[in-house]
Amino acid sequence: MVEKQEQFKVQVKDLHKSYDGVHEVIKGASLDVAPSEVVCIIGPSGSGKSTFLRCINKLEDFQDGHIYLDGIDLADPKVDINKMREKIGMVFQHFNLFPNMTVLENITLAPTQLGKEDKQTAIAEAHKYLKLVNMDDKADVKPSTLSGGQQQRVAIARALAMKPEVMLFDEPTSALDPEMVGDVLKVMQNLAKEGMTMIVVTHEMGFAKQVADKVAFFHGGVIQEIGTPEQIFDHPQKEETKSFLDKVLNV
Amino acid sequence: MRFAKIKQMLLIPFAALLMLVALAMPGQAQAASKKTYIIGTDQTFEPFEIQDKKGTYNGKKPGIDIEILREIAKHEGFKYELKIMSFNADVQALQSGQIDGVIAGMSVTEERKKTIDFSDSYYNDGVVLAVAKDSKIKGLKDLKGKTVNVKTGTTGSLFAESIRKKYGFKLKYYSSSNTSWADVKAGNADAAIDDGPALRYGIANGTGLKIVGKQMSNTPLAFGVKKGHNKELLAMFNHGLRWLKKTGRLQKIVNKYTGKKAVKSQVVADTSIMGLLKSNAGALGAGLWMTVKLSIVGIIFAMLFGLVLGIMGIAEHKFWHGIANVIIYIFRGIPMMVLGFFIYIGMPTVIGHKIPLFTAGVLTLMLDEGAYIGAIVRGGFESVDVGQWEAARSLGLPYYKALWKVVAPQGFKLMIPSLVNQFIITLKDTSILSAIGVMELTQTGNTLIAQNFQGFKMWLIIAVMYLVIITVLTWISNYVHKKMKI
C-alpha cells in the first residue's frame, strides 16, 4: 500500500514507548487524523492515552515508530522539534499558566520571544483570542486570581496565539469543578466548528459524542477501536470497549 | 542559536577569574625595574614585632626586627614591603615564593636550614616557661600530666616537643602567642613555653603570667630567604647587619626594647568599652570596611559562580550535570581555611607568580560559597513545577528560553530565603580569611588584643559589630524580598 501521508494532518505509525526500556506503555499505536478532524481518545485511566498524546509534540520521547505532521517525521533527529511545536498547540489538565506573568503576558510570551510578532501585534492578537474564549476582561490580572475554568480558557487562548495547525487537549476538564466544565467545552466546540484539527484525550463522553468526528478507544497501550461516535458508542466491536463504556455510561 | 547567549553567560565568571589572575600579575611585572622585596613578618610578637593601632609597622616602636630591617634597607638602598601573617604562614609563603624573605624573630634550627638560607644572627634568644601568677608550678618537674601551650612552628614548640616525654606533659598549639598566654591566664592550660624576650615583654605589659626557672635554650635569631633564592637580598642584609653591629646601632635597637628603660606598648589608659572603642576606632573601622568589602565582592563573585553551576546543573545536556556535581562536591567538601591556604600559599608554586591577598580571599569565598549557591540555584530551578517546563516547551520555546523566561524567575523566588542565608554565612566566613592574614574585622581583633590584652571586651565589641552588619544585611534582603513579591 502506498502511504499518502500528505492527506493526513497528523499520522502516528506503530508508536512504541517505554520509560524503563523493559515495559512498554505504548505498544505499537497508530492513528490517522485528517485536516479539520476532531478525534477524541477515550479509555481507562493508566491505559497510556495521555502518554500517547504527549508523544505527538514530543514532550515524551519514544523509542520506535513515526509521527508525521504534514508528512514531516518527528522521529527524524534532523527535524527541529521547537519549530514543529510551534504548529502543535497543547492544553494541559492543570492549565500550567505562568504564575509570574499576567494573563496577557502569558499569551504574548511565545509569539514575541520566537519572533513571530512584534509586541504591538502580539498584544492585539492576544486580545482577539481572549475575546474568543470570553476572558478579555481579565487580560491584566495574574492567573492565581482566576478560577480553574477561567485559567483553562486562558491556556487555550495562549496555545491559539501561536496559530497552531493542530491542537492537543490532555484531559482539559478533569481538574475542573463541574460547573466550570461547560464553558471550557463550549470554547473547544467553537474551535472545532471553525475547522481546527484537534486530538482530545477526555472523559467527557457527551463531548465526544457531540463534537468528535472520530472516537478512539485506547486500552493496553494501543488503539483498540476507532470509528464515528455512533460506531463506538452504539456498536462497539471489542469486549474491552463494551465493558469500559458500560462502566462510564451507567454511572 | 540561543545557546550562544547561555555560553556568553557562562563566560562571565570565567572572564572574572581571568581578571582576578590579571590583577595578580603586577606583582611580577614590577620585578624588572627597581625591585621591591616582599618581606614576611609576624603579627605582634613583642619585642620583635609590635603592630601599631592600625595593625601596621609604620610607627616609631615597631619592634626589634622591623627597626633592623628599616635601617639595613636604608643603608643598603633597597625597597621592601611587609606582609603580615602568622609565623607558620610566613614560612610556607616563603617556600611558595609569595614572599622574598622572612624576619619574624625566627630561630636558626637545623631543620629550617634545609629549606631556608639564614643571614648572620642578630640576636640570641632562648625559650622560658611561664605560668599564671598564682600557679604552684615551679619548674619543668612540676609539669607531669599538665597542659602546656606553645605557638605553632616556633622554637618554643620545637623545644617543648623535645622535652615533652621526659617531663610528661601535654601540648596545645596556638597560632599567636597572645592567645596562647591568655589561655594560660584563663586557667585552660597550666603553662606556656615561649620565647623569653617575648614573654618578658608581655609580662611587663600585663599578661598576668610569671616566668619560672631559667632560660632553657640559646638559639640565634636571623633573617631568612628561600634556600638558593634571593642571594643578593641575603648578601645585602648581611652587609648591612655587619655595619649595624660595627656602629653599635644594633645594640641601641635591642636596648630600646629589652633594656631597663624598655618601651612599653601603647598602654591603654581607658579600658572601658567606650574607651577601647574610641582609642581603636580607626583600626576597627578599617577592619570593618575590609570585612564589608570582602563580603560584597565575595558575594557577587560567588553568586556568578553559583549561577553558572546552577545552570550547568540543569543544563539540557546531561554531561554538564556531572561537571557541576563534581565542582560542587569538591568545594563543599574542602574546609574554607584549607582552600584559603591552598590558593594563597599553594597555588603560587604552581602558577609561578604571586596572588594578592585580597584576590586570594575573594577567590576562596567565590569557590567555597559559590558551590553552596550553585546547589541552591539548581535546587530552586528543580523545584519549579515540571508543568511550567512542559507548557513553555509545548509553545515552541527552546530549552534555555523556557528556562530563562519561565522557570528561572519562579525559581529565583523560591531561592531567596536560602540565598539570604548563604549571604549571611558568607559574611561570617570572611573571618576565616584572617588565617591567611587578611586584615578584616577578626584579624583586627587579634592584632588589637595582642597590644592591649583586653580579650573579653575586644571580642565583645567585634561580635557586636558583626551582629550589626548582619542585621543590616538581613534588613536589606528582606526589603528586596518584599519588593519582589509585589
The reply to whether A142 falls in a domain is yes
Which of these, B45, B59, B170, lies nearest to B107 by C-alpha position? B45
What is the DSSP code string of B255-318?
HHHHSTTPPPP---S--SHHHHHHHTHHHHHHHHHHHHHHHHHHHHHHHHHHHHHHHHHT-SSH
pLDDT attached to residue B33: 46
> Cβ of B395 and A97 within 8 Å?
no
Q: Measuring CA to CA, which residue among A196, A228, A201 is closest to residue A212?
A: A228
Q: Is residue A206 part of a domain?
A: no
Instruction: Pick the residue from chain A with its C-alpha nearest to B385.
Output: A96
Contact B387 A94 (CB under 8 A): yes
Residue for cell digits 571580642? B459
Which of B385, B390, B396 is closest, CB to CB, to A110? B396
Question: Which residue would you say has higher pLDDT here, B88 or B233?
Answer: B233
Specify the number of domains making up chain A. Answer: 1
In a domain, A2, yes or no: no
Helices (H) and strands (E) in chain B, counts: 21, 10
Residue B381 has pLDDT above 70, yes or no: yes
Query: What does the pLDDT look like over A175-233, one tens digit per residue?
Result: 898 888 999 999 999 999 999 999 999 999 999 999 999 999 999 999 999 999 999 99
Mean pLDDT (chain B, rounded): 85
Summarize the confidence of residues A10-25 as an average pLDDT. Answer: 91
DSSP letters spanning B208-245: -EEEES-----EEEEEEEETTS-HHHHHHHHHHHHHHH
pLDDT band of B462, cuts 50, 70, 90: very high
Residues B398, A98: C-beta atoms closer than 8 Å = no
* Nearest-CA distance A201 → chain B (Å): 16
Q: Which grid coordinates are listed for A202?
A: 477526555
> What pLDDT does residue B349 have?
79
Q: Collect all residues with Cβ–Cβ distance below 8 Å to B302 and sequence separation of at least 6.
A: B365, B366, B368, B369, B370, B373, B422, B426
B321 Cβ neighbours under 8 A, 6+ residues apart: B312, B313, B314, B315
Q: Looking at the predicted structure, is the pLDDT value of residue A119 above 90?
A: yes
pLDDT tens string B19-52: 555 555 444 444 444 678 999 998 877 788 888 7
Q: Rounded to whole angstroms, how far apart are CA atoms B205 and B447? A: 15
**Residue of chain B whose alpha carbon sits nearest to that of A169:** B394
**B410 → closest Cβ in A59, A99, A109:** A99
CA distance B474 to chain A (A): 25
pLDDT at B269: 58
C-alpha closest to that of A211 among A39, A34, A3, A35: A39
Q: Does A61 contact B at CB distance below 8 Å?
A: no
Contact B388 A159 (CB under 8 A): no
Nearest by CB to residue A59, choosing from B385, B390, B406, is B390
Q: CA-nearest residue of chain A to B387?
A: A96
Helices (H), chain A: 49-56, 81-86, 103-113, 119-132, 148-160, 178-193, 205-211, 229-234, 239-249
The alpha carbon of residue B353 is apart from the nearest alpha carbon of chain A, in Å, by 47
Which tens digit of pLDDT belongs to each residue from A223-235?
Answer: 999 999 999 999 9
- Closest residue in B to A84 (Cα) is B396
Q: How many CB pairs under 8 A join A and B?
A: 61
Pairing of strands A214-219, A222-227: antiparallel
With 90 as the cut, is the pLDDT of residue B101 above it? yes
CA dihedral A53, A59, A62, A68 (to 10 degrees): 60
Question: Across-strand partners of A90?
Answer: A168
- Which chain B residue has its CA at the smallest distance from A109's CA? B405
> Could you tell me the end-to-end alpha-carbon distance of chain A, in angstroms, rounded to an integer?
43
Distance CA B119, CA B338 (A): 31
A121 occurs within a structural domain: yes
pLDDT tens-digit series, residues B392-419: 999 999 999 999 999 999 999 889 889 9
Q: Which residues pair with A10 in a beta bridge?
A: A33, A69
Amino acid (1-letter code) at residue B40 = G
- The 3-class SS string of B54-87 reads CCCCCCCCCCHHHHHHHHHHHHHCCEEEEEECCH
Of residues A83, A99, A110, nearest to B395 (C-beta): A110
**What does the mean pLDDT of chain A come to?**
92
- Is residue A103 less than 8 Å (CB to CB) from chain B? no
**Cβ pair A92:B390 closer than 8 A:** yes
The answer to whether residue A124 is domain-embedded is yes
Q: What does the pLDDT read at residue A169? A: 96
Q: What mean pLDDT do residues B148-157 have?
A: 86
Chain A residue with minimum CA distance to B398:
A82
On whether the CB atoms of residues B240 and B71 are closer than 8 A, the answer is: yes
Q: In whole angstroms, what is the distance from residue B227 CA to residue B234 CA?
A: 11
Domain annotation covers residue A79: no
Joined together, the cell numbers standing for residue A48 give 497510556
* Complete edge-to-edge strand list for the sheet that includes strand B147-151: B170-174, B147-151, B191-195, B127-132, B209-212
Are residues A96 and B409, on separate chains, in Cβ contact within 8 Å? no
The complex scores an ipTM of 0.92
DSSP letter assigned to residue B45: B
CA distance B379 to chain A (A): 19
Tell me if A127 is assigned to some domain: yes
Please indicate, yes or no, if residue A244 is contained in any of the structural domains.
Answer: no
Q: Which residues of B touch A162 (CB under 8 A)?
A: 395-396
Closest-CA distance of chain A to residue B392, Å:
8
Q: State whether A159 and B397 contact (CB < 8 Å).
A: no
Residues of A in contact with B391 (CB under 8 A): 90, 92, 96-98, 155, 158
Q: What is the model's pLDDT at position B28? A: 44
Residues B58-89 have pLDDT tens digits of 888 888 999 999 999 999 999 999 988 888 88
Q: Say if residue A4's pLDDT is above 60.
A: no
What lies within 8 Å, CB to CB, of B20 at 6+ separation is B359, B362, B363
Closest by alpha carbon to B196, among B172, B183, B213, B179?
B213
C-alpha cell at B273: 568599652
Residue B17 pLDDT class (50, 70, 90 cuts): low
Does the distance separating the beta carbons of A94 and B394 come in below 8 Å?
no
**Which chain B residues are Cβ-neighbours of A97 within 8 angstroms?**
391
A106 touches chain B (CB under 8 A): no
pLDDT tens column, B310-332 = 999 999 889 999 999 999 999 99
Over residues B447-452, mean pLDDT: 74
pLDDT in tens, A43-82: 998 888 999 999 999 999 999 999 999 989 998 989 999 9
Helices H / strands E in chain A, number of each: 9, 10
Chain B residue with the nearest C-alpha to that of A114: B397
Cβ–Cβ gap B394/A86 under 8 Å: no
Its domain, for residue A127, covers 97-164
pLDDT one-digit tens code per residue, A26-36: 999 999 999 99
A160 has pLDDT over 80: yes
pLDDT of residue B307: 95
Proportion of chain B above pLDDT 90, given as a percent: 43
pLDDT of B89 reads 82
Residue B477 CA to residue B380 CA, distance in Å, equals 18
How far out from the chain centre does Cα A83 lie?
Answer: 18
Interface of B with A (CB under 8 A): 385, 387-388, 390-398, 401, 405-406, 409-410, 413
Considering only CB atoms, B409 lies closest to which of A83, A88, A100, namely A100
